[in-house]
Amino acid sequence: MATTDRREREKTEFRKIVLDAARRIVLEGGFDALTMRKIADAIEYAPGTIYLYFQSRDAIAFELCWEGFEALLAAVAPAGAIADPQERLLDLGVRYVRFGIENPQTYRLIFMGDPKYATSLFEDRGKEEGSPGMQALALLVGAFAELRAQGRLAIDAEPYALAEMLWSAVHGIVALHLACGQFPETPPERLRELLTQTLLHGLFAAP
Amino acid sequence: MATTDRREREKTEFRKIVLDAARRIVLEGGFDALTMRKIADAIEYAPGTIYLYFQSRDAIAFELCWEGFEALLAAVAPAGAIADPQERLLDLGVRYVRFGIENPQTYRLIFMGDPKYATSLFEDRGKEEGSPGMQALALLVGAFAELRAQGRLAIDAEPYALAEMLWSAVHGIVALHLACGQFPETPPERLRELLTQTLLHGLFAAP
DNA sequence: GTCTATAAATCGATAGAC
DNA sequence: GTCTATCGATTTATAGAC
């Protein structure tokens, strides 16, 4: 049994080494740069050896995607400590955009690559705490629900739909910036500020 | 001269045939499915022949991207006929989202593929009318400028920045839908409606 | 377990016959 | 102008020696 445990530990260790190398490759050259050969070169093993620990290149990419999303979740989670739901939403937005801009390749891997990766992050796997995507969404839903419960919302809409709307809009700021590079001349941080301020107070002057 | 003209016409004709086939391939299998060999098979020519009319695969992809954006521009342009700038903005949003949802592969090619394609659409090439990207953006900027000139804006921000903010937000609705498939459970059209209504009137009840 | 070697399938792009 | 043939490089994944 002890031997089995040791093998198990070594196996986990090797997988970690592979994933570390894979992550470095993606961060440097993007998802297309991730090949089994490059990973093998980086960890100084033969390409075939990796297949003893991962079923395929796709499996590695999937784990990277999962990790990346956990990093995103960890980056925005501290906002949950803010008591006031409005301030919490604003901070979530700040943190989300900052993560996307500072981790472009990770964000691209999750949200702008093959849809199958992102999709799986939001699939319900019957876990107690739900998929990581749903955990992140719950932060938004919770804030909107509190606002509604406190009678502070002027708009009559489901917190869930409002949360998805806000996520989509903030995602757009990050995604368009990563997609076009120069198009939105206005910095992402400024666009986020404009977005949230306008969402909060509305575009129009009182008549 | 007459002979030269005929050759020129034939050359244009062949390029069109290639692009038609290439577009069909991308619409079916996405950008990654676009290979010179598949194009050659589709038009029943040898792969090498295509290189007499296009410099590279990238050149073909670039033209597809350009065409796609022109289609997007054509899809939203009719909104420009609406006199009231607020109604015009709303209609632009409706048309934009509809185009993205109905033409997923085209939208992906433009905004979710290699950044170099999208970037070039917004580059200023010194043309009189500006790049197609700037033409599209001008529709938004114009509407915001009118609203501001009419004193209808409660928010003090540059029309240009507001236009980029709105584009980003609407892009996010389309892009997230295309990226995750199932995550935003709320339909894109509903998310757009929520977004624009909230932007217009604000999230909060008057205190 | 790890390696070497390689299968099997791609791909973009080009050279040269016709 | 088109084709055949192919170069040269890539990839994922596997088989079998050690």
Q: Note the pLDDT tens digit of each residue in A157-205.
A: 999 999 999 999 999 999 999 999 889 999 999 999 999 999 999 887 6
Residue of A nearest to B119 (CA): A180
Question: Are B168 and A172 a contacting pair, CB within 8 Å?
Answer: yes
Residue A56 CB neighbour total at 10 angstroms: 11
SS3 B204: strand
Structure tokens at B23: 């577009």
Question: Are B131 and B121 a contacting pair, CB within 8 Å?
Answer: yes
| Residue A115 reports pLDDT greater than 80 | yes
DSSP conformational letter for A51: T
Question: What class does CATH assign to A56-201?
Answer: mainly alpha
Cα separation of A47 and B84, whole Å?
63
Phi, psi (rounded to 5 degrees) for B153: -95, 130
Domain boundaries, chain B: 1-54, 66-201
Question: Are B90 and B156 a contacting pair, CB within 8 Å?
Answer: no
Tokens 């098979």 belong to residue? B41
Which protein residues, judged by their CB atom, are less than 7 Å from any atom of strand D? A 34-38, 47-48, 51, 56-58; B 7, 10, 14, 44-49, 52
How high is the pLDDT of residue B64? 98
Choose which CATH entry (3.40.1350.10, 4.10.520.10, 2.60.120.260, 1.10.10.60) describes domain B1-54. 1.10.10.60
Question: Are A192 and A170 a contacting pair, CB within 8 Å?
Answer: yes
Structure tokens at A179: 């997609």
Short-list A82, A191, A193, A200, CA closest to A142: A82
Please name the nucleotide lying closest to A37, CA to C1'.
Answer: D11
How high is the pLDDT of residue B72? 98
DSSP conformational letter for B153: B
Decide: pTM greater than 0.85. Answer: yes
Residue of B nearest to A169 (CA): B169
How high is the pLDDT of residue A127? 67
What is the fold of B66-201? Tetracycline Repressor; domain 2 (1.10.357)
Cα separation of A36 and A46, whole Å?
9
